[in-house]
Amino acid sequence: MTSELEEKLRDLNISNTISSLETFPNLCDLPLEIVEMIVERLDLRGRVIAGRVCKTFRIMTDLLGTPRRCDDLKITIGPERSQVIINGYTIDYKRPEGENDEECRKIMIGKMLDDFLPLINDCQLNFFSARFDDYLSNILFHDVFQERSKPLKAHTLICKGFHHTHRFIETRLVDWASPRFREYHQMEKQADDIIKVNLRKIQCSGIMPNPWLQDTVTETIKYFREGQEDIYVDEPNLVPPKKQ
């Protein structure tokens, strides 16, 4: 076993506090060599689940990295519920009960970050999409993220929000120079759960150190029904009916 692993796990039974603003149980009595063997054989989905069992598995998952590259990450941050989709695997989160709204939201966000940050190799992604359903969710997510990680690098970046601050992603969450393709989805709620989207696409065609001096920009208006975000249409009357 590596000295780095031994150092991180030395005081495991003394302090069980992890970064998600809550205590995490240490329920694993297995020899660490066995834990390492188990985690090495888990796929990406399995490591997310194992990391929730106890701090021993969490640390082992962090140290061993991912079984394969996490290329595709989509997050949705709301006041009551949030969601992350990692390489097609969906995890939902619910805001815990409590009087302090900001702290409760931070706990929800912290749990999400605990799940997906260890699965990203060297902070690099091929595709990253982030949607913020309100202003405070945007601010709190970035605050908690910056406490735990350096900026991500993504080839394709998609920013979605109902408030112009969804573009904070470029300055606080993602290395601004890394994306070669960007989309901005400025959303507006309409009747019957229909969302109007001012869609702006930017294709980088320049080279470093000034890749954005030359680019191709297109702007269109699209519509979708809430809960069917993968189906964009050109007119509101073309939006599919609500799912029964």
3-state SS record for 83-144: EEEECCEEEEEECCCCCCHHHHHHHHHHHHHHHHHHHCHHHEEEEEEEEECCHHHHHHHHHH
> Which residues contact residue 214 at a Cβ distance below 8 angstroms, ignoring those fewer than 6 apart?
204, 205, 206
What's the token pair of residue 210?
A: 């000034």
Number of domains making up the chain:
1
Q: List pLDDT tens digits, range 199-223.
A: 999 988 766 555 555 678 899 999 9
Cα–Cα dist 147/169, whole Å: 15
37 occurs within a structural domain: yes
Give residue 39's domain range.
Answer: 1-68
**Predicted pLDDT of residue 97:** 92
62 occurs within a structural domain: yes
Share of the chain above pLDDT 70, in %: 66
Q: List pLDDT tens digits, range 158-215.
A: 999 997 765 666 667 888 888 889 999 999 999 999 999 999 999 887 665 555 556 7
**Predicted pLDDT of residue 114:** 86
13 occurs within a structural domain: yes
221 occurs within a structural domain: no
Bridge partners, 204 (sequence order): 215
